[in-house]
């Protein structure tokens, strides 16, 4: 089992938002999920113009972690723009980060609020199946040790 996820400090409570290409139905296109911590990293670096060292201090993470967050955020935004995908920004509760899960057994989606650390649920709350996964590209990156690029 992997190390528990370290809490990231976010100064803004971002609202859940979806940006999609004009004239395309959302259900017909793939979605790229941008996490609140990735949006916060983009805000600190690109809008406030902070260097990685100060931005990482504000988020409460190591500079190398901040760099990985920024790399993933740039990849996701670029992929959505170039390939015409929808960009979904997860909202953040002032108490933590919400992560979406999917069950292969019953097909149910549900969200979990993580406040102090990240821990995968053991089973689906509806059917009890252990065949579950985290929705979105982050699960691929976490399993394969990279930026989430397939191929």
pLDDT tens digits along 25-81: 888 888 888 888 888 899 999 999 999 999 999 888 889 999 999 999 999 999 999
95-144 is classed CATH 2.20.28:
yes
The helix/strand count (H/E) of the chain reads as: 4, 7
Distance of alpha carbon 24 from alpha carbon 29, whole angstroms: 8
* pLDDT tens track for 78-121: 999 999 999 888 765 545 566 788 899 998 888 877 654 556 78
Distance of alpha carbon 64 from alpha carbon 68, whole angstroms: 6
pLDDT of 145 > 50? The answer is no
pLDDT of 23 > 50? The answer is yes
In the 3-class helix/strand/coil scheme, how is 104-116 assigned residue by residue?
CCCCCEEEEEECC
> What is 9-93's CATH number?
1.10.10
Distance of alpha carbon 27 from alpha carbon 137, whole angstroms: 18
* Residue pair 69/61 in contact by the 8 Å Cβ criterion: yes
For the chain, the structural domain boundaries read: 9-93, 95-144
Provide the 8-state DSSP code for 32.
E
CA 12 to chain centroid: 15
């Amino acid at each position: 089992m992997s190390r528990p996820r370290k809490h990231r400090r976010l100064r803004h409570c971002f609202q859940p938002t979806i940006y999609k290409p004009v004239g395309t139905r959302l259900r017909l296109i793939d979605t790229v999920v941008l996490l609140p911590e990735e949006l916060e990293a983009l805000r600190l670096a690109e809008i406030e113009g902070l260097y990685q060292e100060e931005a990482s201090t504000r988020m409460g993470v190591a500079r190398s972690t901040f760099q990985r967050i920024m790399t993933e955020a740039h990849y996701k935004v670029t992929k959505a723009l170039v390939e015409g995908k929808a960009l979904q920004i997860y909202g953040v509760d002032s108490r933590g980060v919400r992560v979406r899960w999917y069950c292969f057994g019953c097909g149910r989606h549900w969200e979990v609020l993580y406040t102090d650390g990240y821990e995968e649920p053991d089973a689906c709350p509806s059917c009890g199946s252990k065949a579950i996964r985290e929705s979105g590209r982050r699960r691929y990156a976490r399993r394969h040790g990279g930026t989430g690029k397939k191929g």
